[in-house]
Structure 1
Amino acid sequence: MSSISAIQRLRTSSKAQYRFSIAVRMVIGVILIIFSVFPILWMISASLNPTGTLATQTLIPRNMGLGNYRELLTSQTFPFWTWFGNSIKVASITSVLSLAITTVAAYAFSRFRFGGRQTMLKAILLINVFPNLLALVATFLMISQFGDVIPALGLGTHTSLILVYLGGAMGVNIWLMKGFLDTIPRDIDESAMVEGASNWQIFTRLIMPLLRPILVVIAILNYIGTYGEFVLARVLLRSNESYTLMVGLQIFAGAQISQRWGVFAAGALMGALPIMIIYLALQDQIVGGLTQGAVKG
């Protein structure tokens, strides 16, 4: 009887511990959800607040309306749609070009053996260890001098900004793509070569279809990083018409943030929508591509 009672007490204790651990996890989960969601709810509330100032900001405003959105979309002083279009253009072009260059370079590093290969890979990795801000002054001076020779590559142009973005993202993307390529068996290449296929045919017809998960990951990460980048865009762009959305919103906020907080909140929310939609639609492919590229098989 004593042994049976001990077993029952042990089971009861185990159930109590399990329930307690579940309760603790739920409490922590709720706290994290509130911590994550509250800033978004606060911004939504601010964008719907008709008074539109920081002094009158409350979580549930009275007489909610879309006046801040109408003012944002029709303002002549702060051209939201121009900034939004500039961000879409710069992010899209950067993503496409970076994807093309990264794929070809990573394929060469993964499949070919040539002098200086390891040195170049280590150099690419070493360069990306240093923060981009360390090269900010040098980048500014270089682009400024380029503009004296080729105005299309000078300060205030989207072309110069795209070129800088391409250089900054190349290292990480090459290593990420190479890691994924290393998981693809070389037997595929060798079998195709026996059949008389060239390296270009192997790359375009056999390897590229297998790269779809990592291509999606790199394209999305490039797009999100470029779309939301602020520092380089603020330094290199000069005119109100050339600003990207992040720069435009910062200038707007610096000018009248306390008086037009509601309009700023509306702009921030609308600017975040494309990234939110992309991530929610493709989050499974992002996680899957990163996982496959990180594990060598």
Structure 2
Amino acid sequence: MAAIDVSNADQRTAAPTPAGRRKKGGGVWWRHALALLALVFALFPILFIVSSAFNNAGTLSTSGLMPTRFGTDNFKDLFADPARPYWTWFKNSMIISVVSTIATLFLGACAAYSFSRLRWTGRRTGLLAILLLQMFPAVLAFGALYITFANVGNVLPAVGLNTLAGLILVYLGGAMGSNIWLLKGYFDTVPKELDEAAYIDGASHARIFFTITLRLVTPILATVAMLAFVGLWGEFLLASIFLTDVNQQTLAVGLWQTRNADVNRYFGQFVAGAVIASIPVVLVYLSLQKQLIGGLTQGSVK
């Protein structure tokens, strides 16, 4: 009986047969197929745009997944066109995105620190007001913003319509709400005992904020900076309303006008400019992707 029991135990612990392994893993193939399909769906427009940018034919009707006449004529035509100052648009977009991102980050961090660490009258009301204002459709405010800055430009031309400074001010006001809530959620995770220890040593609120708190919330700062930069880099609606001079326009507005002039004729220049415009966004994502994951996951809960 002992020999029979041992043999049965050996049979039960024996490795599964190849047929059993195939049956066990038979339901996995569709997951790989679905992932491959999603990858192809995501890469198809990118491949089409890059192929069209390096297609010397330069028209929409001759574009495809593989360039028929490989070359860089589209880039040369884009840079040589005096009516479409591409690098001026690139510079304007970079100035607006970088300055607005830095200002948004500083103002949002200061406001979030105040809401998270300080106790003052109207604190809860202020948080709820910011949340409610974010529910207001931003498109409905475009008319009011246009009239406001048109009147401001009569007094202060440097921050009126068709100026980069005026557009930056508009962007700063629209980005505060969501950023303050996101930053505050992360600031709440920093132990308050660190502040109390610094108070005992004689540190002020400003010193604690700049020397201690900001260093501990680097992931959320990188997250907000990346989201703000990417959003401002491709913003079109407000930029098309505020910037009418061709030398003051951003990349999004300038490239749209290039395409809108003659879709078939200028399609090569349009996609060539779009390929170059995507480089800063890709670099920002690649450099800050770790901070993005950490900032969103840790700041989402208190």
SS state of the match for residue 21, structure 1?
Answer: coil
> Which of 5, 27, 51 is the aligned partner of 2:57?
51
The equivalent residue for 1:152 is 158
> Which of 241, 249, 261 is the aligned partner of 1:243?
249
SS state of the match for residue 25, structure 2?
Answer: helix
Please tell me whether the aligned partners of residues 59 and 265 of structure 2 are also in contact (alpha carbons under 8 angstroms): yes
The equivalent residue for 2:300 is 294
Question: Hey, what's the Cα distance between the residues in 2 that align with 1:38 and 1:96?
Answer: 34
The 1:66/1:176 distance shift into structure 2, 3 A limit, reads same
Q: Give unmatched runs, 5+ long, in structure 1.
A: none
CA shift, 1:58, in A, is 2.1
Amino acid corresponding to residue 208 of structure 2 in structure 1: I
SS state of the match for residue 158, structure 2?
Answer: helix
> Which of 157, 173, 183 is the aligned partner of 1:167?
173
CA shift, 1:5, in A, is 9.9
Question: Hey, what's the Cα distance between the residues in 1 that align with 2:157 and 2:195?
Answer: 45
The equivalent residue for 2:129 is 123
The 1:26/1:147 distance shift into structure 2, 3 A limit, reads same
The equivalent residue for 2:113 is 107
The aligned runs of 1:24-39 (5 Å cut-off) are: 24-39=30-45
2:141 is the alignment partner of 1:135: yes
The aligned runs of 1:247-262 (5 Å cut-off) are: 247-262=253-268
The 1:6/1:57 distance shift into structure 2, 3 A limit, reads same
2:293 is the alignment partner of 1:281: no
Amino acid corresponding to residue 154 of structure 2 in structure 1: D
TM-score normalized with structure 2 length: 0.92
The equivalent residue for 2:3 is none
Question: Hey, what's the Cα distance between the residues in 2 that align with 1:191 and 1:61?
Answer: 64
Alignment length, in residue pairs? 295
The equivalent residue for 1:210 is 216
Amino acid corresponding to residue 128 of structure 2 in structure 1: K
Write the deviation string for residues 91-144 of structure 1: whole angstroms up to 9, x where unpaired: 000011111111111100000111111111011011112231121111111111
Amino acid corresponding to residue 246 of structure 1 in structure 2: A
Larger Rg: 2
The equivalent residue for 2:46 is 40
Instruction: Give aligned-pair identity as a percent.
Output: 40
SS state of the match for residue 179, structure 2?
Answer: helix
The equivalent residue for 2:97 is 91
Question: Hey, what's the Cα distance between the residues in 2 that align with 1:149 and 1:141?
Answer: 13
TM-score normalized with structure 1 length: 0.94
2:199 is the alignment partner of 1:193: yes
CA shift, 1:219, in A, is 1.1
The 1:126/1:11 distance shift into structure 2, 3 A limit, reads farther
Question: Hey, what's the Cα distance between the residues in 1 that align with 2:21 and 2:133?
Answer: 54
Flag as ranges the 4+ runs of structure 1 deviating above 4 A.
4-8, 10-14
The aligned runs of 1:12-31 (5 Å cut-off) are: 15-16=21-22, 18-31=24-37
Question: Hey, what's the Cα distance between the residues in 2 that align with 1:290 and 1:12?
Answer: 44
Question: Hey, what's the Cα distance between the residues in 1 that align with 2:36 and 2:136?
Answer: 37
Higher deviation after alignment, 10-19 or 91-100: 10-19
Amino acid corresponding to residue 95 of structure 2 in structure 1: K
Please tell me whether the aligned partners of residues 57 and 69 of structure 2 are also in contact (alpha carbons under 8 angstroms): no
Write the deviation string for residues 128-182 of structure 1: whole angstroms up to 9, x where unpaired: 1223112111111111111122111211001110011001110111111100100
Higher deviation after alignment, 154-163 or 14-23: 14-23
Which structure's relative contact order is higher, taking Cα pairs within 8 Å and 6+ residues apart?
1
